[in-house]
């Protein structure tokens, strides 16, 4: 990459990760926005708290990319809510992203366990 281009920005990286996390959360079936937040928090043992200010733009972005779609459904207390679900294209993306994520984490893990120079 030419020096005048900034390195891959933090936000972009986070965005990509957030997209992956959202897709992963929808793997089990359609869910509304609030449910997605709860799911992610529960499945990450309360480590990941997704901000609504990031979630909803991410959902709009994913909708535009046609990897998720919306449908109308009922909430637990029987109110009409908007549900998000994975599209076939989204499923394919999730599979691809997941394997790439695994490669990345494995590579980083390998880096981390490699012999370290003496620390002064």
Binding mask 12-41 for other proteins (x = CB under 8 A): --------------------xxx---x---
Q: Which is nearer to other proteins, 38 or 43 (CB)?
A: 38
Phi-psi region of 78 (alpha: psi -120 to 50; beta: other; left: phi over 0): left
User: Which residues touch 22 (CB under 8 Å, ≥6 apart)?
Assistant: 36, 40, 50, 55, 58, 59, 62, 68
Q: How far is the CB of 97 from other proteins (least distance, A)?
A: 19
Binding residues for other proteins, rule CB under 8 A, total 18
The CA-to-CA distance between both ends of the chain, in Å, stands at: 32
Q: Which is nearer to other proteins, 51 or 119 (CB)?
A: 51
H or E element at residue 70: strand 68-74
Of 45-64, binders to other proteins (CB under 8 A) are: 51-53, 56-57, 59-61, 64
- Nearest alpha carbon to residue 34 among 75, 90, 93: 75
Q: How far is the CB of 6 from other proteins (least distance, A)?
A: 21
- Reduced to 3 states (helix: H, G, I; strand: E, B; else coil), residue 66 is coil
Residues that bind other proteins (CB under 8 A): 32-34, 38, 51-53, 56-57, 59-61, 64, 75, 77, 79, 81-82
């Amino acid at each position: 990459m030419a020096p005048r281009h900034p390195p891959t920005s933090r936000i972009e990286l986070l965005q990509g990760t957030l997209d992956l996390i959202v897709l992963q959360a929808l793997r089990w079936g359609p869910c509304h926005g609030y449910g997605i937040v709860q799911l992610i928090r529960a499945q990450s043992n309360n480590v990941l708290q997704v901000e609504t200010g990031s979630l909803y733009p991410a959902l709009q972005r994913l909708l535009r990319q046609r990897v998720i779609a919306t449908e109308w459904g009922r909430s637990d207390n029987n109110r009409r809510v908007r549900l998000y679900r994975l599209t076939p294209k989204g499923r394919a993306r999730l599979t691809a992203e997941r394997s790439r994520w695994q490669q990345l984490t494995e590579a980083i893990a390998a880096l981390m366990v490699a012999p370290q120079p003496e620390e002064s």
